[in-house]
Amino acid sequence: MILKIDHLGIAVKDLAEAKRAYEALGLKVQAEHDVPSEKVKTAFITVGESHLELLEPSDPSSVIAKFLEKRSGLHHICLLVDDIEKSMAEMKAAGAQLLDEVPRVGAGGCRVAFIHPKSAAGVLLELKQV
């Protein structure tokens, strides 16, 4: 079952500049993390029950660096689920194309899996189970 929007991933070229921009909008950065496995530096901003996740590549080979070659801004929507294997199986049975066959370990040790944008009207979706 999908519980809520966990976060929105926003690809930025310069994390410090992006933080200043969001702070000018009255949104405060609560936490920053280095995620070497994904080759990104992140800053989290809480908005209601969700977060904005600003993502700056820490290496030119990161997925976010590739995305930024084309554009900056909204990159993915992450949906919190209660049972990731069950959600993945149900989505696959309904014809959705998953980018992960089994969940992988994401930031903070959560299990995550991605859904191809073809199966979500052009949006990259991430599933996450805490």
Residues that bind its own copies (CB under 8 A): 1-5, 8, 10-12, 17-18, 21-27, 47-50, 52, 54, 71-74, 77, 79-80, 87, 90-91, 94-96, 115, 117, 119-125
- State the nearest-atom distance from the C-beta of 61 to its own copies, in Å: 21
Q: Which is nearer to its own copies, 35 or 50 (CB)?
A: 50
The Cβ of residue 41 has, within 10 Å, a number of other Cβ atoms equal to: 20
Q: How far apart are CA 50 and CA 103, in angstroms?
A: 21
CB of 53 to its own copies, least distance (A): 11
If the CB atoms of residues 11 and 40 are measured against its own copies, the closer one turns out to be 11
Q: Contact at 8 Å (CB) between 15 and 54?
A: yes
CB of 37 to its own copies, least distance (A): 23
Side chain identity, residue 67:
F
- The CB-of-50 to its own copies minimum distance in angstroms stands at 5
DSSP for 7-49 reads EEEEE-S-HHHHHHHHHHTT--EEEEEEETTTTEEEEEEEETT
Rounded CA-CA distance 28/7 in Å is: 15
